């Protein structure tokens, strides 16, 4: 007697996680290829010529290294920073339990008068507090279960195979900076390799350069151009999400509402992700003050508009 086996959907999830580790190696390979093409082959040798071109070459190499440092710093922060998961046996804070916290001014100093915090009385239950049957735990607002990570992620945006990690409340800033610096780096590489790319066809016919270097210049230019164009689309999309305080998962829900309940205005929406210290906005880190006093960065509680029902 034949027995039908039920397909296990988590096999695919495990496969995606393995694919993610391959993506890390791919990122390292593209970085190494671009470094060799720009610094070793194209512009590095010009620094030693002592001509006017050496000043331009030096500037290009310095900018390349600065962007590379910020790119890798942001990337590894996304890879290794926990996006945030729900504490075991978590439950929402009721109004009567939050009296001391409210009077201390911790939240009131940050939240504008027109914004209310997500606490409520014990006689009501907010609809965005759900229960995860797989984690067997309550889920705070904007939290979703990731089948690949097999846990609930705070303010989950998406699972990114490029970083083998979820993008959520505590590493979304690092992800955005990774996109930004990768876009700037690939644009720089494309521009500075363009003269060598044009010259490639003449060198190929005359055999005036080594075939290996020609292949590296050609491949590096094409890859960087392709990534720059694709990243431009992602940057526009995530900039729109950032300014409206929306995650990728919440896009459909936001379309159904007249006013998005988490939209606090552009400045406060940015502060919800990047923190209040503007000097640190372009660095993949937070001040201790922001981590302690900005509820959205903790991922369990989010201020909302006062003119929208929760």
- Could you list the active site residues? 160
The C-alpha atoms of residue 308 and residue 310 are separated, in whole angstroms, by 6
Residue 130 φ/ψ, nearest 5 degrees? -120, 180
Q: Which tokens in the block code for residue 147?
A: 């089948």
Rounded to a whole number, what is the distance in angstroms from the first to the last CA of the chain? Answer: 55
The C-alpha atoms of residue 196 and residue 191 are separated, in whole angstroms, by 10
Residue 172 φ/ψ, nearest 5 degrees? -65, -40
The C-alpha atoms of residue 235 and residue 222 are separated, in whole angstroms, by 20
Q: Which tokens in the block code for residue 169?
A: 């409340």
Please, are residues 141 and 308 in contact by the beta-carbon 8 Å criterion? no
Output DSSP code: residue 166: E
| Polymer length in residues for the chain | 310
Counting other chains too, the contacts that 265-270 makes at CB distance below 8 Å and 24 or more residues apart are: 268/112, 268/115, 269/242, 269/243, 269/244, 269/245, 270/242, 270/243
Residue 100 φ/ψ, nearest 5 degrees? -65, -40
Q: What share of the chain is helix, strand, coil (3-state, %, to 5)?
A: 55, 10, 35
The helix/strand/coil state of 130 is strand
The C-alpha atoms of residue 246 and residue 263 are separated, in whole angstroms, by 8
The helix/strand/coil state of 135 is coil
């Amino acid at each position: 007697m034949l027995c039908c086996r039920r397909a296990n959907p988590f096999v695919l999830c495990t496969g995606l996680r393995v694919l993610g580790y391959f993506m890390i190696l791919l990122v390292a390979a593209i970085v190494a290829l671009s470094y060799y093409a720009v610094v070793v082959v194209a512009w590095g040798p010009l620094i030693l010529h002592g001509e006017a071109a050496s000043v331009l070459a030096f500037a290009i190499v310095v900018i390349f290294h600065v962007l590379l440092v910020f790119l890798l710093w942001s990337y590894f922060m996304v890879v290794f920073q926990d996006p945030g998961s729900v504490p075991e046996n978590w439950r929402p804070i009721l109004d009567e339990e939050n009296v001391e916290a409210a009077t201390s001014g911790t939240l009131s100093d940050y939240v504008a008068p027109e914004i209310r915090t997500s606490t409520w009385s014990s006689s009501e239950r907010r609809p965005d507090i759900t229960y995860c049957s797989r984690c067997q735990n309550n889920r705070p607002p904007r939290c979703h279960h990731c089948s690949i990570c097999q846990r609930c992620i705070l303010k989950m945006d998406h699972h990114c195979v490029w970083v083998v990690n979820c993008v959520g409340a505590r590493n979304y800033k690092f992800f955005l900076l990774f996109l930004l610096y990768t876009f700037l780096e690939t644009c720089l590489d494309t521009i500075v390799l363009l003269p060598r790319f044009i010259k490639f066809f003449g060198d190929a016919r005359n055999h005036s350069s080594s075939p290996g270097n020609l292949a590296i210049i050609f491949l590096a230019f094409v890859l960087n151009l392709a990534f720059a164009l694709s990243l431009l689309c992602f940057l526009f999309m995530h900039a729109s999400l950032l300014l409206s305080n929306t995650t990728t998962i919440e896009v459909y829900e936001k379309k159904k509402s007249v006013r998005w309940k988490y939209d606090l205005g552009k400045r406060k929406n940015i502060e919800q992700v990047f923190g209040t210290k503007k000097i640190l906005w372009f660095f993949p880190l937070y001040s201790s003050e922001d981590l302690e006093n900005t509820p959205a960065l903790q991922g369990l509680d989010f201020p909302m508009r006062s003119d929208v029902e929760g």
